[in-house]
Structure 1
Amino acid sequence: MLGRNSKLKEAGITLTFVGPILVLYVFFFILPLGGSLLYSFTDWDGLQTTFKWIGFSNYIELFRHSDSFKNAFVFTLQFSVVNIVLVNAAGLLLALLVDSKLKSRFFLRTVFFSPNVISLIVVGFLWKFFFSSVLYELGTKTGLSFLTYSFLGNPDTILYPIAGVSLWQSVGLAMVIYLAGLQGIPDELKEAMNIDGAGRWTLLWKLTIPLLLPAFISNLFLTTTNSFKVFDLILALTGGGPAGSSESLAINIYREAFTANEYGSGTARSIVFCLFIVIVMLIQFRVMQRKEGK
């Protein structure tokens, strides 16, 4: 009897702490997700109080006839691959730089991380002004014609300025995570390898990189989710243009639901998007588990 009361007391304490969070999670995540799944099988326009059940029509239309969704999917995939590689590579290089014996390393850490605290909407507008006005004025006054190039107006190259701005804004966080991993490597291991005659490159590839695997996993998950969900940066920088060439999946879903008032189709797109992200994250999780030998 005493053991039962103890278990009930422990369950009550656990529920006291977990309960509010669980209620919020159900209210703000589970219920909206369930509602989205329901509406994806309807023709609801977001305005009428009634709607018609149309089954899988939204999904069939999505995969057979929606060129805008397919183009947005391709662009999002391209941007994600480029962004993940650039942010992780640059973040590691900057972490190695600011972990060195440079006198200015603390100042450099602040400089590199500062853009990360700026809102993506603000970042987008700042760089839009820089590309469209500042560079153009510099080009006309200095005679450097390449500066007058329409960086945000060419559908064939629009991916690169967006990836560059994203790199500038997000590399600081990746640097901090890698820096924490670097500072967690015991000095004794470095000294032992130095005594054995290991050079700088051997130390990097045989010791530093393998021990940075947890930091790499964290950065990989962060950059993957942020890249696939990119919305406000592109909305402020290009608005999805020119001619929809930089429209991400998140922007495509937003316009379908809130601009075209096709909530049924918009929620179907969001469900497909959500499943795609879940599949990608599960694949990453399994691969990283194998890398860690679990």
Structure 2
Amino acid sequence: MSESNFSIALKKIIPFQKKQTVKEKGIDIVIYLMTIPAVLLFAAFHTFPVIQGIYYSFTNWDGLSLEYNFIGFKNYLDLLKDTNILNSYLFTFKFAIVTTIIVNVLSLLIALGLNSKIKFKNFFRATYFLPNVLSMLIIGFIFNYIFANVLPVVGTKLGIEALAANILGDDKLAWIGVVVIAVWQACAFNTILYLSGLQTVPEDIYEASALDGAGKWQEFWKITFPIIAPFFTINMVLAMKNFLMVFDQVVALTGGGPGRATESIAFLVYKSGFSGGEFAYQSANSVVYFIVIIIISVLQIKFLQKREVDM
């Protein structure tokens, strides 16, 4: 190609490239403009309240009066001496650990069953997912009625003493009722995640293991579980985080009772902070618990991901 022809071709190409660049910039600007409302809403209803809560945690504000004073770290130091705070932490951790284990074991077993060759598989999947779309408060009130009225009648007629009394009225057994309702609803979402993980396991591997004479347990432990380990990590972290923030179940079932036996940290913050005149004090409690949840989640991720690599 001669120089003159090359120059002519170049002049035709350059304007086209400029138009494309301007168009791409226009698209980028539109994308940024579309994200601004979401960013503003997130900042207004999440970031700003968080910063405001941290600010109030260093004061003695009761949530109602117009005047308050800065008291430094006094609220944080008082948390260490408060038996109600310590009891709520103990209940919340006990509840979260037990429920997380039960939910993941049951969800994995259900997912393995639904992933096998059974009839009406899609029907069962929809049935197991149904609890996840229901309101926790509605579920809680229904289970409250079952624990208080249905089970005692059934237990009395069958002569089963363990069911004859309402466990929600027993300060040593009430937490089990909260665990039952939490497991019943949480299994739905976790099961779907495990089913998604099981879909990633190639059938060829199972066929090869069958030819090698591997049993069902060896097949699960050596093939299935290592492949779905990332899904196990996700489920464990999300379940623990959600159960550490247990609130609706406590409100609908026990109201923190009997006494303070089932008073979770989230419920204590709500009750004492908004209606107990301890807004600043419970703000400090919220900040501490926020940090605790972050630390637990990070440790979970690191430990479980390390096991994924080891597998």
Q: In 1, Cα distance between the equivalents of 2:241 and 2:29?
A: 35
Work out whether 1:229 is the aligned partner of 2:236: no
Give the 3 Å change call, closer, same or farther, for CA 201–139 of structure 1 in structure 2.
Answer: closer
- Counterpart pick for 2:85 among 44, 54, 69: 69
Runs of 4+ in structure 1 off by over 4 angstroms are: 1-11
Q: In 1, Cα distance between the equivalents of 2:28 and 2:303?
A: 36
Work out whether 1:124 is the aligned partner of 2:140: yes
**Residue segments in structure 2 that go unaligned for 5+ positions in a row:** 1-17
- Measured on the aligned residues, the alpha-carbon RMSD in Å equals 2.2
1:182-201 matched pairs, under 5 angstroms: 182-201=198-217
- Counterpart pick for 1:244 among 260, 276, 282: 260
Q: CA deviation at 1:149?
A: 2.3
- Counterpart pick for 1:32 among 42, 49, 66: 49
Q: In 2, Cα distance between the equivalents of 1:68 and 1:138?
A: 36
Q: In 2, Cα distance between the equivalents of 1:187 and 1:143?
A: 49
Q: In 1, Cα distance between the equivalents of 2:304 and 2:69?
A: 44
Q: CA deviation at 1:82?
A: 0.2
Q: CA deviation at 1:9?
A: 5.0
Q: In 1, Cα distance between the equivalents of 2:181 and 2:248?
A: 12
Work out whether 1:44 is the aligned partner of 2:71: no
8 A contact 2:230–2:305 mirrored in 1: no
| 1:226-248 Cα distance to aligned partner (Å, 9 max, x none) | 10011011111011111101100
Q: Which TM-score applies when normalising by structure 1?
A: 0.92
Give the 3 Å change call, closer, same or farther, for CA 2–109 of structure 1 in structure 2.
Answer: closer
The 3-state SS of whatever aligns with 1:244 is coil
The 3-state SS of whatever aligns with 1:220 is helix
Q: In 2, Cα distance between the equivalents of 1:39 and 1:142?
A: 55
Count, aligned residues: 293
**Residue segments in structure 1 that go unaligned for 5+ positions in a row:** none
Q: CA deviation at 1:18?
A: 2.8
Give the 3 Å change call, closer, same or farther, for CA 266–11 of structure 1 in structure 2.
Answer: same
Residue 150 of structure 1 corresponds to which residue in structure 2? 166
| 1:83-126 Cα distance to aligned partner (Å, 9 max, x none) | 11000000000001111112143332222221221111111111
Q: CA deviation at 1:3?
A: 11
What letter corresponds to residue 284 of structure 2 in structure 1? A
